[in-house]
Structure 1
Amino acid sequence: MLSPHEFATLMLVKDSPDQIDLTREELDVLVEHQLIAMEQLASGIHRPCLTDDGNSLLQSITRMH
C-alpha cells in the first residue's frame, strides 16, 4: 500500500514530471513498485515518467471518485 505522500508524488509525476525534486524519497518507492520509471532525455537529464501500471493505478483511483 502506498502512503499519501507516495500517491501525491505519483500524481505530480503524471502532471508535472519536469518539476519533481529527484531527491524525493517517494520516487524510490514508486520505482520499486514499478509505478514510475526514470527516463534519460537526450540532454542527459533524468525525468520520472509513469509506467503502464502507474497510469492504471491513477485511472482506477479517479474512477472511484
Structure 2
Amino acid sequence: MSEKLNGKFDKNLMENSMENSIGNSMRNSMRNSMRNSMRNSIQVKQLDSDYKKRFKVYFEYVFQYFDS
C-alpha cells in the first residue's frame, strides 16, 4: 500500500490511500443504505396493496353475512 522512499514511508501516499479507502467505504455504505431503503419502501407499497385487497374481500364477506 505504501512505498518506501529512501528507507522512509511516504506519508502523503499513506494518507491518500487511507482517505481513498475511507471515502470508498463511506460511499458504498451510503449507496447500499439508499438502495435498501428504496427496495424496502417498494416492498412495503406492494404489501400495502395486498393487505388492502385482502381486507376488501374480508369486509365484503362480513357485510354479506350481516346483510343476510
Please give the TM-score of this superposition, normalised by the length of structure 1.
Answer: 0.25
Q: Greater share of helix residues, 1 or 2?
A: 2
Q: Greater share of strand residues, 1 or 2?
A: 1
Higher relative contact order (CA 8 A, sep 6+): 1
